[in-house]
């Protein structure tokens, strides 16, 4: 069974920084065609520059994916650039702290829209394209596509001020399972990666604000370190490749063992 993704076309959202950027770069380095998608066009240009040309295996798309029309435009741009899509990585996500006792706080609604609904709409639209491709090619067996959602261990372990983030992460996990069952007959696999503390843009900011934060995380992580964003790229490649061809509806935990210990520590990023 091969772990290669060479020649496949992947769309990675949230690809202007942090984990999304690391996964998109990792895929491109493994010779996949990659559409980097994010709402931060300046950052996309700064990261890719002239590398995203017509003769390269990378392109970028800037837009607010919370809008249905933007999602449709992303699919169109991907097809125009690479003719097909085989992999979708829903890495666009947000974390907000909020008062769990404030009925006027809309953090739950905001994060459900950002972390769940956007990923669901992308999954639905891109899965339909994958199905249409297989029908057009007369493909009656073998893998048709892979969809990977980025979740968090906050779905299972939380702090009161992270109610919205935990709820949206748990909802994303269940969406992953539900869509895996719905798309199984079409040979499209849907899995998720629930990670602990990874050196993302949000965690870097938190570490700057709180000098003790790093030690708190390390002390409560059995492997005693914070993961690099690049490590998520390796996991995502596994889920995107035929090496995981019999896996669907699974939430892979990548947290250095943090969910195995009892103490509730600083939130995952």
Higher pLDDT, 160 or 11: 11
Q: Which of 191, 113, 123 is CA-nearest to residue 151?
A: 191
pLDDT value of position 212? 74
Task: Tell me if 151 sits within 8 A of 251, measured CB to CB.
Answer: yes
- 223-239: per-residue pLDDT in tens? 888 888 889 999 999 99
Which tokens sit at 232? 């998520």
Which whole number is the average pLDDT over 53-61? Answer: 88
- What is the 8-class DSSP label of residue 103? T
Cα distance between residue 68 and residue 28, in whole Å: 27
User: What SS3 state is found at 127?
Assistant: helix
CA distances from 229 to 91, 152, 154, 259 (A): 12, 14, 18, 19
First to last CA, the chain: 32
- Report pLDDT digits (tens) over 120-161: 999 999 999 999 999 998 888 989 999 999 999 999 987 888
Per-residue pLDDT tens over the stretch 185-219: 999 999 999 988 787 766 766 667 776 778 888 88
Instruction: Name the CATH superfamily housing domain 9-198+228-256.
Output: NAD(P)-binding Rossmann-like Domain (3.40.50.720)
* Cβ proximity of 5 and 30 under 8 Å: yes
Map out the domains of the chain as residue ranges: 9-198+228-256
Sign of the C-alpha dihedral computed for residues 31, 32, 35 and 38 taken in this order? negative
Res. 268: pLDDT tops 70: no
**67: which residues sit within 8 A by CB, 6+ positions away?**
none
CB 132 within 8 A of CB 86: no
Mean pLDDT score of the chain, rounded to an integer? 91
| pTM of the predicted protein model | 0.92
Give the per-residue pLDDT at 41: 95
Which pLDDT band, with edges at 50, 70 and 90, does 1 fall under? low
The one-character DSSP state at 246 is: T
Among 227, 171, 169, 236, smallest CA distance to 199 is for: 227
Task: Check: CB of residue 230 under 8 Å from CB of residue 26.
Answer: yes
């Amino acid at each position: 069974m091969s772990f290669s993704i060479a020649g496949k076309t992947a769309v990675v959202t949230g690809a202007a920084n942090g984990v999304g950027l690391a996964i998109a770069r990792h895929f491109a380095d493994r010779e996949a065609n990659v559409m980097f998608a994010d709402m931060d066009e300046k950052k996309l240009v700064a990261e890719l520059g002239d590398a995203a040309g017509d003769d390269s295996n990378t392109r970028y798309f800037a837009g607010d994916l919370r809008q249905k029309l933007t999602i449709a435009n992303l699919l169109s741009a991907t097809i125009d650039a690479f003719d097909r899509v085989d992999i979708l990585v829903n890495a666009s996500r947000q974390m907000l702290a909020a008062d769990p006792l404030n009925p006027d706080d809309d953090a739950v609604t905001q994060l459900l829209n950002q972390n769940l609904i956007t990923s669901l709409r992308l999954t639905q639209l891109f899965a339909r394209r994958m199905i249409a491709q297989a029908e057009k090619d007369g493909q009656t067996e073998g893998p048709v596509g892979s969809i990977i959602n980025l979740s968090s261990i906050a779905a299972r372990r939380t702090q009161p001020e992270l109610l919205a983030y935990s709820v949206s992460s748990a909802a994303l996990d269940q969406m992953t399972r539900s869509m895996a069952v719905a798309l199984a007959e079409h040979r499209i696999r849907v899995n998720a990666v629930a990670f602990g503390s990874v050196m993302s843009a949000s965690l870097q900011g938190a570490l700057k604000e709180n000098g003790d934060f790093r030690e708190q995380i390390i002390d409560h992580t059995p492997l005693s370190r914070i993961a690099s964003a690049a490590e998520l790229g390796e996991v995502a490649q596994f889920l995107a490749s035929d090496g995981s061809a019999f896996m669907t509806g699974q939430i892979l935990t990548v947290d250095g063992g943090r969910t195995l210990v009892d103490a509730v520590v600083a939130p995952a990023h």
